[in-house]
Amino acid sequence: MTHEHAAVPGELTDPAGSGGALAEPGAVTLVVPTFNESANIRELLRQIAESVPSRLPCEVVFVDDSTDDTPDVIREAARHCPFPVTVLHRAEPVGGLGGAVVEGLRAATSEWIVVMDGDCQHPPSLVPELVATGERTGAGLVVASRYIEGGSRAGLAGGYRVAVSRAATWLTKSLFPRGLRGISDPMSGFFAIRRADITADTLKPLGYKILLELAVRGRPDRVGEVPFVFQDRFAGHSKSGAREGLRFLRHLIGLRTASPAARLIGFGLIGASGFLPNLLGLWALTRAGLHYVPAEIAANQLGVAWNLVLIEHLLFRDRRGHRRWWDRACRFALLANADLVLRIPLIALLVHRFGMGALGATALALAITFVLRFVGTEALVYLPRRGRGGSTAARRAV
């Protein structure tokens, strides 16, 4: 990542004489993630300069994933700003827009941090009110909402985007009724949060809805809301699309399955879905003339592969970096096939030693081996290797 600081009025010179610049402490840091927003930068900084510094000392941190000249435009425009402006350009946009926001949260120096978009759809004039609401109510998180009295989603272009926004809002509030209590607009990208309430290392962003991460994983004690009117873009076009939608759905699943109990249920549902490729494979192999015993063994591997793909992408996506893909695949396959080997002797033990009926013994054996397989998968496939957590966690997942 490249860190660039634009020298602007209001900064203090480094007393050590190193030639660097130290930002004057401010009451609020505006974190603005950008991706090819060069046409919006000057207007955004103009709006900030007109409405924020006179009411609240501030700094602006741009976290940029652009492939155009946006960083250069920011540096040039920052020369005329009455507040410090920092550019963090990421060569590799890990975590998408949400990952960019987390980098900005780490770089912020103020007591309050306001996250906002770089396309001028979030009015900077509301920043002082967001902070004032937090101070007045004692809230750790204050959300700018389009869905309370005085708010509007007018800037959403077209009925399609309105429908998608409504559906996503309903889905997130249905999945996280407690975590999103008091938040009418969980899809908002415009909010203020106290720096003391953030533990950036616990956040695992995927895509562009970082507010969900902060609300669900951070669980602030008190939440406030301020109405706002969603503006039209000043220039350019929206970066959201089908790909971001899929990342958003994966993010929801990851948040929902974060607890062990939820992961256990998800593990069971994925395992049940594996019966379909297993049965289809068995049917195809026996139709081709293969004996049913080797056909069953081979078909079972199809179910194992199916389950592994879903588990990797839906349950343990954030833990894939602890081991290489072939190591995870081999361990998972061994556990899944060991389940078959263990289940038959266990059924026999329950029937002949404990006098259970065949049906009851089979059901109990399925439950026991299922729990053992889940525990084994977590412990042997997706937990960091002992004594090497630091290095393996940093390895890129594949």
Q: What is the DSSP string of 79-101?
A: TT-SS-EEEEE-SS-TTHHHHHH
Position 11 scores a pLDDT of: 36
Q: What is the DSSP string of 281-330?
A: HHHHHHHTT--HHHHHHHHHHHHHHHHHHHIIIIISGGGGGGS-HHHHHH
Give dist(CA 288, CA 282) in Å, integer: 10
Beta strand residue intervals within the chain, DSSP E: 2-6, 12-13, 21-22, 28-34, 58-64, 85-89, 112-115, 141-145, 191-194, 223-227
pTM for the full predicted model: 0.62
Are 2 and 88 a contacting pair, CB within 8 Å? yes
Position 199 scores a pLDDT of: 66
- In the block, tokens 């955004």 appear at 44
Tokens of 215: 């609300």
Name the residue type at position 279.
Answer: L
pLDDT, averaged per 10 consecutive residues of the chain (398 residues), comes to 45 32 61 90 94 91 91 91 92 79 88 90 93 91 90 66 73 75 85 81 62 76 89 67 65 67 79 82 86 78 88 78 84 83 82 82 80 84 61 35
Domain residue ranges of the chain, discontinuous segments joined by + = 2-256, 260-393
350: left (phi over 0), alpha (psi -120 to 50) or beta: alpha
192: which DSSP letter? Answer: E
User: Regarding the domain with residue range 2-256, which homologous superfamily does it belong to in the CATH classification?
Assistant: Spore Coat Polysaccharide Biosynthesis Protein SpsA; Chain A (3.90.550.10)
145: left (phi over 0), alpha (psi -120 to 50) or beta: beta
